[in-house]
Structure 1
Amino acid sequence: KENRQYEHELSLVVERFRSIVTDLNLSDQVIDKIEIEINNIFASSETIYSKLEALKAVGEDTLAQILSEYLTSLGMNAKYLNPKDAGLILSDQPGGAQILEESFEKIYRLREYDEILVIPGFFGYTSTGKLVTFSRGGSDITGSIIAAGVKANLYENFTDVDSVYCVNPTIVNNPKEIATLTYKEMRELSYAGFSVFHAEALIPAVRAEIPVCIKNTNNPNCPGTMIVAKKEIQTGENPVVGIASDEGFMSLYISKYLMNREIGFGRRLLHILEDEGISYEHTPSGIDDMSVIMRANQMDERKERNVIKRIKAELKPDQVHVARGLALIMIVGEGMQRQVGTAYIATKALKDANVNIEMINQGSSEVSLMFGIKEEAVNAAVKSLYQAFFE
């Protein structure tokens, strides 16, 4: 029964690819080859985890082969190149692989090809030849790695929007587009919910100082959004480039009188979280209290009980409690470093929207200003902030 189910699901996948090939007037040979490859994955003696990695890569790999065939049919000198042949050597971290430094020397040799190279994204191989994938949305990472490796002048990343918008268009109708962003600004916006470009994909481009242009696949003539290392900030220019929001956070609050005199208190608290495999996002603090902001999906009820029990036993706080249902709002712009009053405008906008601020945090770089609020207040907060800064 399981085999019949697997064969049925496989046939649906193959037929979907076959319909694409038919629409493009290509030979069925490419699909026959792909069907054999998928069957080989199931028939292999690899572990279930290795098979899963290989299956996750099938979509990207198949479409790259189809695209190469299609470009060739149009008379272009195109060539499909497997990531292994392209030189992508990754760490052995399935679902979260990282590029190894030794890859870049090999990737640079791609400049020697005369063909238009079509390289599938999202996966690569370890030094031992094991297929591993990047995190979800990792095709952006592949493109950035290749651009950095060949020392490109520009990396164009095609998506389904004309540009990066200054706010989530599902919250604010027809928001303003962003013409130019810096790497730092894009990183801050990506962290807090801007999903148009994979946050990790910026790393290779940043290190190689390669400009990135976000463009629309269905509207390629639109100029899109440029992401650059530095930009000129004009006098009188809006210091804020974007407002991002993300839900699913929680805070761990600890209060203890004279906490500031207790050497190593913060280190011991974070060590407890480390022991439970929990990473933190922010740690706003006062002289006698400290909050740790983290993704709520990291701490289930069991971990919460263990953490609180250890905090009470090892740190002996006056108070400790957990608050869930938090959202973070990031107001981002390198221009905030030069302009007084951004925090005032933001807090007034939140007050006008009757949104209570649970937490506020701003780094010394002043590239972003972060507010913690209740999740149910996100839409009202974002709309009010957009009106204050962009209308």
Structure 2
Amino acid sequence: MKVTKFGGSSLANGPQFQKVINIIKSDPDRRAIVVSAPGTRFKGDIKVTDLLIEYANQVINHEDFSDTLNQIIDRYQEIGRSFHVDEQQINQLVTQLNDLPNQSFPDTAHLMSTFKAQGEFMNAQMLTMILNQLEIPAKFMDPKQIGFKVTGNVEDAQINPATYENIRKFRDVKEKMVFPGFFGINDDNQIATFSRGGSDITGSIVARGLQADLYENFTDVNAIYSVDPRVVKNPKAIDVMTYREMRELSYAGFSVFHDEAIIPAIQVGIPINVKNTSAPDLPGTMIVPENKFQPTRVITGVASAKHFSALYIHRYLLNKQVGFTLTILKILYKYGVSYEHMPSGIDDLTIIFDKTQLNDHIVKEITKEIKAALHPDQLRWINDYAIIMIVGEGMQSDNHTIEKIIRPLTDNEISIHMINEGASKISVMLGTDIKDSDKAVKLIYRNFFDNNRLIY
């Protein structure tokens, strides 16, 4: 059995739906389908999810939402009419959209989650209608009815383990099972969404629940590449990589596959195949367990992320002061701020943050409290901070990897603020100035891939 997930670009309009249907028909093992909301059809277009967020905000603020609502309705009518779906069935979806403002919600967060989830909820119904009309027996898998349970924050939900057993009960369903991605149902019987891009998570959960042999993730690229094509032209495609390589690279900006989505598949060893909806016969990229994986290169990929800030603290004999770090962590906890990394020396400490957690007020208050509690000799914030991840299972057997990474950077006078080698020995993390990050990525890529260094 294969679980097959299609992203928003794959389901943006009627012609894209036809590609999806052709893929579903081409392999009888594709028995479970997970769908995203319709994505953009052309440059400058708006994703349905973004329209739904706008719709929700207009309802919350008691603004006129008729234009936004009509844009959403038009998207689904366009898809349905491309396949001559009965107008009465399309009108059922229109009614769902119209009724949203009339529902009762505990708070605005629950309202927002319910509105956002409608993109996937309605797209799964639409695909089910179309498949049945084409005489491809299909069953809509309503999360409430099948017991797709989640816990935690209503807009950043986590899977309830009971869901796997609930889904497993449907393993012998003969029809094509069509699941809406992105959301589940919490203990209060309310809709709760995963983080943005969470349809990938749904696909992985469904794959685990159905004990699938393969989880296919169809998107708009031919494969996962060794480096961002916007940084290096025509980069090498990755044929096969491991779960943990994907996780490490996702952290630093590999956006093809949602990093959290890998976890359910990792837990039971289901391989993942990332493929292109517009070129389904290409092999794509396989993501597999690390056992029995044989790397053919030192590194698999290099990525950079530029959404970081750093707090540098210097105090003489810092290493002798018991509780110094604990005091800082308590202050961060007070303001609800987590840190990413904390490289240190005997007199120095650098704390690296995802800057999306910070604002001017939080920075000011954290600074004030650290100064009052610890009296550092120096304290400064570094907003110009990028992290570069170099990842590869082959690094474990190459003792000169760090030298090969660092030398082209120092030869080109690129400052390195931090070097951190992961305990797994498959990744090296660098801290650089944002202005240098793309150049550093290009140099590292060139040194490992253009020179065609292979492991024998």
Distance in 1, Cα, partners of 2:93 & 2:78: 14
1:292 match: 351
How big is the shift at 1:105?
1.3
Deviation sequence 1:157-191 (CA, Å, 0-9, x none): 11111110000011111100001111110000000
Confirm whether residue 306 of structure 1 aligns to residue 365 of structure 2.
yes
Distance in 1, Cα, partners of 2:260 & 2:432: 26
Trace 1:1-391 onto structure 2 (pairs within 5 A). 5-46=64-105, 47-230=107-290, 232=292, 234=294, 237-391=296-450
How big is the shift at 1:234?
4.9
SS in structure 2 of the partner of residue 194 of structure 1: coil
How big is the shift at 1:339?
0.5
SS in structure 2 of the partner of residue 371 of structure 1: strand
Identity %: 42
Could you tell me which amino acid in structure 2 is paired with residue 105 of structure 1? E
Distance in 2, Cα, partners of 1:345 & 1:14: 55
- Structure 1 residues 355 and 277 mapped into 2: Cα distance closer, same or farther (>3 Å)? same
Distance in 2, Cα, partners of 1:60 & 1:352: 50
Deviation sequence 1:224-259 (CA, Å, 0-9, x none): 111111154658x32100001111211111112222
Tell me if the contact between 2:303 and 2:390 (Cα under 8 Å) persists in the aligned partners.
yes
How big is the shift at 1:25?
2.2
SS in structure 1 of the partner of residue 69 of structure 2: helix
Distance in 2, Cα, partners of 1:380 & 1:245: 10
How big is the shift at 1:353?
3.5
How big is the shift at 1:350?
1.4
Tell me if the contact between 2:385 and 2:431 (Cα under 8 Å) persists in the aligned partners.
yes
SS in structure 2 of the partner of residue 112 of structure 1: coil
Could you tell me which amino acid in structure 2 is paired with residue 129 of structure 1? N
Deviation sequence 1:276-330 (CA, Å, 0-9, x none): 1111111111111111111122221211121111112212222111111211110
- Structure 1 residues 373 and 246 mapped into 2: Cα distance closer, same or farther (>3 Å)? same
Could you tell me which amino acid in structure 2 is paired with residue 266 of structure 1? T
How big is the shift at 1:74?
2.2
Aligned length: 390
Distance in 2, Cα, partners of 1:92 & 1:340: 43
Tell me if the contact between 1:86 and 1:119 (Cα under 8 Å) persists in the aligned partners.
no
- Structure 1 residues 326 and 106 mapped into 2: Cα distance closer, same or farther (>3 Å)? same
Tell me if the contact between 1:280 and 1:292 (Cα under 8 Å) persists in the aligned partners.
yes
- Structure 1 residues 145 and 386 mapped into 2: Cα distance closer, same or farther (>3 Å)? same
Distance in 2, Cα, partners of 1:276 & 1:36: 43
SS in structure 2 of the partner of residue 293 of structure 1: strand
Distance in 1, Cα, partners of 2:234 & 2:412: 20
Distance in 2, Cα, partners of 1:4 & 1:275: 36
Tell me if the contact between 2:244 and 2:290 (Cα under 8 Å) persists in the aligned partners.
no
Distance in 2, Cα, partners of 1:312 & 1:80: 58
Could you tell me which amino acid in structure 2 is paired with residue 153 of structure 1? D
Distance in 2, Cα, partners of 1:110 & 1:55: 27
Distance in 1, Cα, partners of 2:323 & 2:88: 65
Distance in 1, Cα, partners of 2:307 & 2:117: 29
SS in structure 2 of the partner of residue 91 of structure 1: strand
- Tell me which moved more, 38-47 or 94-103: 38-47
Distance in 1, Cα, partners of 2:268 & 2:294: 26
SS in structure 2 of the partner of residue 173 of structure 1: coil
Deviation sequence 1:27-81 (CA, Å, 0-9, x none): 2223201111112111123243322211101111111111111211222111111
Tell me if the contact between 1:259 and 1:289 (Cα under 8 Å) persists in the aligned partners.
yes
Unaligned ranges ≥5, structure 2: 1-57, 451-456
SS in structure 2 of the partner of residue 84 of structure 1: helix
How big is the shift at 1:92?
4.1
Deviation sequence 1:326-358 (CA, Å, 0-9, x none): 111100012111111111111112123432112
- Structure 1 residues 4 and 265 mapped into 2: Cα distance closer, same or farther (>3 Å)? closer
Tell me if the contact between 1:358 and 1:372 (Cα under 8 Å) persists in the aligned partners.
yes
SS in structure 2 of the partner of residue 249 of structure 1: strand
Distance in 2, Cα, partners of 1:386 & 1:380: 10
RMSD of aligned Cα (Å): 1.7
Distance in 2, Cα, partners of 1:50 & 1:257: 50
SS in structure 1 of the partner of residue 150 of structure 2: coil
SS in structure 2 of the partner of residue 177 of structure 1: coil
With normalisation by structure 1, the TM-score equals 0.96
Tell me if the contact between 2:228 and 2:303 (Cα under 8 Å) persists in the aligned partners.
yes
Tell me if the contact between 1:87 and 1:104 (Cα under 8 Å) persists in the aligned partners.
no
Tell me if the contact between 1:71 and 1:77 (Cα under 8 Å) persists in the aligned partners.
yes
Distance in 1, Cα, partners of 2:92 & 2:398: 60
